[in-house]
Amino acid sequence: MDQRRPFYWGVLLIVSMAIFILVIDTTMMNVSINALVEDLNTTVSTIHSIIAIYTLVMASFMLIGAKLQDVLGRKKAFLIGLAVYGVGTFIASISLDAAMLLLGWSIFEGIGAALMLPATATFITEAYEGRDRAIAFGIWGGIAAAASAFGPIIGGYLTTFYTWRLAFLIELIVVFAIFALHRQIIKTPPTTSWKGFDIGGSLLSVIGLGVLVFGILGIKEPENWGTVPLLLLGGLFLLAGFYIWEKRRITAGRDVLVDVTIIPERSFLAGNVVATGLNVVIAGFLFIFPLFFQTVTGISAYDTGVILLPMSFAVFFFSIFGAKFSTWFEPKYVLLSGIALTGAGLAALRDVFSLTTTGADIMPGTVIFGIGMGIVLSQITNITLGAIGSDRQTDASGIYNTTRQLGSSLGTAVIGIVLAIGFILGLVSGVSGTPTGIPPDQAQWVTGIADAAINQGMEWAFWAMILVVIGMFITALFIRKTGKIT
């Protein structure tokens, strides 16, 4: 036990609270869009844009947020980010119009999150070792996944029975609680200075990631498809330029924003790909699942969250206790088993969706899916960051959290559009060659067409996620064995 900390698990408590508010933020608001539109006298497209800008700002500044840990010290950078995030939540909670919500949520919270998120991972690697570190990362991942799953039910409950503003105020209370516990974090001195700060690399990373994420978000809007390829290629081109820029600065012995030489390390690279794929699947699932139940079956956001509870508890339980598995078995094999279970859960859900689907119909598949996700989350962060030495954990955490954010953006965009295409093609196929006038007694026939189209759309979306999981499994085979954790 580290005697410098009054409470050994205090650091884990702080990072758990931090990751909870960072993740639950968007998922709560996604089910409150109609209330936001009405209260702020705005439009649905404006609220969608505000949500997208939040993601854009957070992802774009993630690498800079990680670097500031070295320049300011990890604890100081985290607390500054926490303060900025707190200001943002307060502004959002008292928003009078969309402009205030944009300032508080998208700008202040986005920048604050970019400073906080990389630090949550490095705090764990600094505070714990061996089995305790594996347990801590399992809980860290489990809290993040549980926040994603519980977000709709909490947001739906607050919006239905109270107001969406309470969601931001609750986050503000958590911010104050973290400040009250900040002494649990050991202060670390800066390891570099502002002198020689990599301004060129910072600009390339912010613009490159921003353009890439903007392109990814545009996938969801068919009217933007003409510009999406240019944005994606432009973002990748700028990030390639960023990589070359950083390599040259390293060769010249100059300070860099990120030590990109760690990227080719086999386990680190494979771990990042697996984590990105997992976030694609989680984000895609949590996007299409509420969409189906709220638009097709007509149940509320709150009831949708209730249906997700068994999966949420499975994720949370196995992400925490799954870390114990790596003390009994090789972590790589535990990870592979979790990926396999995730795929099995998706396969079980592939063709159960129709106009008459109930919560009981999807429970077996969602529980298996949740168990698999929980096991993967209990292993992936420790495996990925553990592949890099402690002296470069800041760089590793910045890259890891950036790729996860990209995965989340890809999930909602790509899986959502696959669902839409599958549904449209199913509908076209069903009505092809039918008469223009449909008598009332043929209403059941029309319902059958809609049912088949919905089933095809969901099936296509689940097949897309299954293919991602297969890619994750193949990639995980390249992770090096580390031996059981003791």
Reply yes or no on whether the pLDDT at 372 is more than 90.
Answer: yes
Reply yes or no on whether the pLDDT at 3 is more than 50.
Answer: no
Contacts of residue 24, defined as CB under 8 A and 6 or more positions apart, other chains included, come to 147, 148, 150, 151, 154, 171
Task: Decide if 272 is inside a domain.
Answer: yes
Reply yes or no on whether the pLDDT at 431 is more than 50.
Answer: no
Residues 284-311: pLDDT tens digits? 888 777 777 777 777 776 777 788 888 8
Q: Is the dihedral of CA 433, 436, 440, 441 positive or negative?
A: negative
pLDDT for the residue 334: 92
Other Cβ atoms less than 10 A from the Cβ of 473: the count is 18
User: What CATH number does residue 162 fall under?
Assistant: 1.20.1250.20
Task: Decide if 435 is inside a domain.
Answer: no
Compute the distance between CA of residue 358 and CA of residue 387 in angstroms, rounded to an integer.
43
pLDDT for the residue 443: 47
Q: How many domains does the chain have?
A: 3
Supply the range of the domain harboring residue 130.
1-194
Reply yes or no on whether the pLDDT at 181 is more than 50.
Answer: yes
Reply yes or no on whether the pLDDT at 420 is more than 70.
Answer: no
pLDDT for the residue 423: 59
Compute the distance between CA of residue 302 and CA of residue 309 in angstroms, rounded to an integer.
11
Say if residue 400 is in the same domain as residue 302: yes
Say if residue 216 is in the same domain as residue 98: no
pLDDT for the residue 277: 93
Task: Decide if 436 is inside a domain.
Answer: no
Say if residue 33 is in the same domain as residue 74: yes
Say if residue 212 is in the same domain as residue 298: no
Residue carrying the six token digits 């002198």:
195
Reply yes or no on whether the pLDDT at 83 is more than 90.
Answer: yes
Task: Decide if 395 is inside a domain.
Answer: yes
pLDDT for the residue 446: 47
- Pick the last residue of a domain from 194, 212, 238: 194
Q: Give the pair of three-digit tokens for residue 381.
A: 């962060």
Residues 195-224: pLDDT tens digits? 778 888 889 988 988 888 888 877 777 777
Residues 432-465: pLDDT tens digits? 444 455 555 554 544 555 556 666 777 888 888 9
CB 403 within 8 A of CB 117: no
pLDDT for the residue 282: 87
- Pick the last residue of a domain from 232, 254, 276: 254
Mean pLDDT (whole number) for 365-390: 88
Higher pLDDT, 328 or 298: 328
Mean pLDDT (whole number) for 228-254: 90
pLDDT for the residue 174: 94
The residue type found at 319 is S
Q: How far is CA 423 from CA 2, 280, 290, 466, in A?
A: 56, 20, 16, 18
Residues 116-152: pLDDT tens digits? 988 888 888 888 888 888 888 888 887 887 787 778 7
Task: Decide if 225 is inside a domain.
Answer: yes
Say if residue 177 is in the same domain as residue 268: no
Residues 18-39: pLDDT tens digits? 999 888 887 777 777 778 888 8
Say if residue 189 is in the same domain as residue 249: no
Other Cβ atoms less than 10 A from the Cβ of 74: the count is 26
Say if residue 267 is in the same domain as residue 401: yes
pLDDT for the residue 442: 52
Task: Decide if 133 is inside a domain.
Answer: yes
Say if residue 293 is in the same domain as residue 151: no
pLDDT for the residue 455: 66
Residues 255-291: pLDDT tens digits? 888 888 888 899 999 999 999 999 889 888 887 777 7
pLDDT for the residue 445: 46
pLDDT for the residue 1: 43
Mean pLDDT (whole number) for 467-473: 94
By CB atoms closer than 10 A (0-12, 13-18, 19+), residue 428 is exposed
| Number of residues assigned to the chain | 486
Give the DSSP letter string of 390-443: GGGHHHHHHHHHHHHHHHHHHIIIIIHHHHHHHHHHHHHHHHTT--S---GGGH
Say if residue 45 is in the same domain as residue 174: yes
The pLDDT confidence band at residue 237, using thresholds 50, 70 and 90, is very high
Compute the distance between CA of residue 294 and CA of residue 368 in angstroms, rounded to an integer.
23
Say if residue 33 is in the same domain as residue 100: yes
pTM over the 0.85 mark: no
- Pick the last residue of a domain from 194, 211, 242: 194
The pLDDT confidence band at residue 162, using thresholds 50, 70 and 90, is confident
pLDDT for the residue 215: 84
Say if residue 358 is in the same domain as residue 409: yes
pLDDT for the residue 391: 76
pLDDT for the residue 444: 53
Q: Give the pair of three-digit tokens for residue 35.
A: 């209330």
Task: Decide if 286 is inside a domain.
Answer: yes
Task: Decide if 249 is inside a domain.
Answer: yes
What is the percent of the chain where pLDDT is above 90? Answer: 23
Say if residue 478 is in the same domain as residue 339: yes
Q: pLDDT averaged over the chain?
A: 82
Compute the distance between CA of residue 212 and CA of residue 238 in angstroms, rounded to an integer.
9
